[in-house]
Amino acid sequence: MNTNLRVATLPVAIVPADKEVNLDAVEKALEKLPEGTDIVVLPELFSTGYTEDSDVLHTLAERNTGATIDRVKEWAARTGAAFAGSYLAITHPRIYNRGFFIEPSGEETFYDKHHLFSLSKEPQLFAAGTERPLIVRFRGWNISLVVCYDLRFPVWCRSRKGDYDLMLVVANWPKARGYAWEHLLIARAIENQSCVVGANRGGNDAYGDYDGMSYIFDSRGMAVGVRPADSPFIVADLDGARLESFRRKFPFQFDADDFSLK
């Protein structure tokens, strides 16, 4: 891997249960997407937000061929960038918090959130995913994706001897737990020698405030994300050659414990 990768995350202020408004907000923001962006990372449940009303959840939930993923595919094809995030999905009769990675070609990969936040009603309302976090190969990089609460579990996020180079963490993580959010992202970067994008939402809702908490870290755990002038995105150019050189110099991955995930 000797290629650079430009990643951008959009901390959109999600309007609860208003799919069209949220999709249009991303559409508008894309007018200022930095040129040359390879991956756009959207927050958790970016098109609907989270609610504990079961009837509303079932009304808003979509299949993989619904309005949200259809619009994401349009954006990916038009911009030439891959799009990642999560959305409110249904595989009848169960509701899932479903992560996605959509490539400009239309290639799609999905991952259902495994760890459901036990301090809320999420475990009663959603079904937990059973498959390991997705890893896709895109423009010379191996890319993993997890959703919000998954971040707290290092074994679940573990890179197996460098099997991913970049982890995308899509979230609705409030400021009340902001110290943990930032430092867990840094820890995942350092322990896995991988770049990490913490794609949080913006604004506020009944569960907290979110502004100013989207981050991009390199494989040393150093903050590298910046917000360009007059842009809603946080952007970083990740250096693949530098990442490989760091891993060769300090091959910690090969000394890691190799526990099998159940």
pLDDT 10s per residue in the chain (262 long)? 669 999 999 999 999 999 999 999 999 999 999 999 999 999 999 999 999 999 999 999 999 999 999 999 999 999 999 999 999 999 999 999 999 999 999 999 999 999 999 999 999 999 999 999 989 999 999 999 999 999 999 999 999 888 999 999 999 999 999 999 999 999 999 999 999 999 999 999 999 999 999 999 999 999 999 999 999 999 999 999 999 999 999 998 888 887 665 5
In tens, the pLDDT along 119-145 reads: 999 999 999 999 999 899 999 999 999
Catalytically annotated residues: 44, 113, 148
What pLDDT was estimated at residue 254?
Answer: 83
Is 261 in a helix, a strand, or coil? coil
Predicted pLDDT at 248: 94
**Predicted pLDDT of residue 257:** 81
CA 126 to chain centre: 18
Give pLDDT, residue 256. Answer: 82
Please answer whether residues 70 and 87 qualify as being in contact, where contact means their C-beta atoms are separated by less than 8 angstroms: no
pTM exceeding the 0.75 threshold for the entire prediction: yes
- Secondary structure letter of residue 132 according to DSSP: P
Res 134: pLDDT: 87
Q: State the amino acid at position 53 in one-letter form.
A: D
pLDDT of residue 44: 98
pLDDT of 223: 98
Contact 116, 75 (CB under 8 A): no
Which of 83, 141, 142, 88 minimizes the C-alpha distance to 112?
A: 88
Q: What is the pLDDT of residue 262?
A: 54
CA 103-115-88 angle, 5° bins? 50
The total number of residues shown for the chain amounts to 262
Residues 6+ apart with CB under 8 A from 146: 99, 111, 113, 114, 133, 156, 157, 167, 168, 169, 170
